Amino acid sequence: MSENLAFGLLAFTSYFSIVNPLSTMPVFMTMTSELTKQQQRATAKKAVIAAFLTMLAFALSGQLLFSFFGISANAFRIVGGIIFFQMGSDMLQARLGRIKVREEEVKSYVTDISITPLAIPLICGPGAITNSIILMQDADNIAQKFILIGSMALILALTYAILYASSTISKWLGETGNKIMLRLMGLIVMVIAVEFFLSGLRPILASIFPSLAVVSP
């Protein structure tokens, strides 16, 4: 039970830090500024559903992708750690999510912005996809697999709730509050990145230098 609880906590915190609904919120507000509240909510709902289906598809097909392309899970963990670290670095400097949408392009996005760029890559970007594949690979039993899927659903439900109330939250936090939250999430993402990188590097080094397997935690 404690292992499942620890896995659930890891899944929730990693998804929350990577998806980071608060960093998506300013972009969502900019791109839906010309829509009514009802249209904004419908757009948020469609974006969250599309993001969930994308994350679920990659989580369930991750092992098939590994086999098809001859990719090892450890190599993917290392690359994922690098991606997470870069994301965390940008978030720590309050740069992530600052996507500039030219005024003349907003209307063209309105037709289907819920899929691109809101669902992909803002909500479900490379980090979320990598996280889905790696954590599904690390899930040791059926319970943990369901916990992972439940964590996805919970985070995306939270994302929808935040986008639903985006106007109120943004005003309440203010510019300073938004930057503080973004930097805090960036720090957490960087810590997760180091853990992913080391968890992928240890087995590779142990296979090259067998003596390291003895001291590996």
DSSP 150-185: HHHHHHHHHHHHHHHTHHHHHHHHHHHHHHHHHHHH
Which of these, 196, 153, 147, lies nearest to 55 by C-alpha position? Answer: 153
In a domain, 124, yes or no: yes
Q: How many domains does the chain have?
A: 1
Residues of the chain with pLDDT under 50: 96-101, 106-107, 111, 214-217
Please name the residues in contact with 145: beta carbons below 8 A apart, sequence gap of 6 or more: 136, 139
Q: How many residues would you count in the chain? A: 217
Give the type of residue at 169.
Answer: I
Per-residue pLDDT of 74-115, as tens digits, reads 777 787 788 778 877 877 776 544 444 455 554 455 546 788
Q: Is 174 left (phi over 0), alpha (psi -120 to 50) or beta?
A: left
- The whole-model pTM stands at 0.69
Radius of gyration, alpha carbons of the chain: 18
**Cα(130)–Cα(108) distance, rounded to whole angstroms?**
30
**Cα(47)–Cα(119) distance, rounded to whole angstroms?**
5
pLDDT attached to residue 29:
74
In a domain, 30, yes or no: yes
In a domain, 182, yes or no: no
In a domain, 29, yes or no: yes
In a domain, 91, yes or no: no
pLDDT attached to residue 1:
59
3-class DSSP state of 217: coil
Query: How buried is 45 (Cβ within 10 angstroms: 0-12 exposed, 13-18 middle, 19+ buried)?
Result: middle
Per-residue pLDDT of 72-83, as tens digits, reads 777 777 877 887
Contact 46/183 with Cβ under 8 angstroms? no
Query: Which residue's entry shows tokens 């970007």?
Result: 125
Please name the residues in contact with 214: beta carbons below 8 A apart, sequence gap of 6 or more: none
In a domain, 203, yes or no: no
pLDDT attached to residue 101:
46
pLDDT attached to residue 53:
95
Structural domain for 106, as ranges: 1-75+102-173
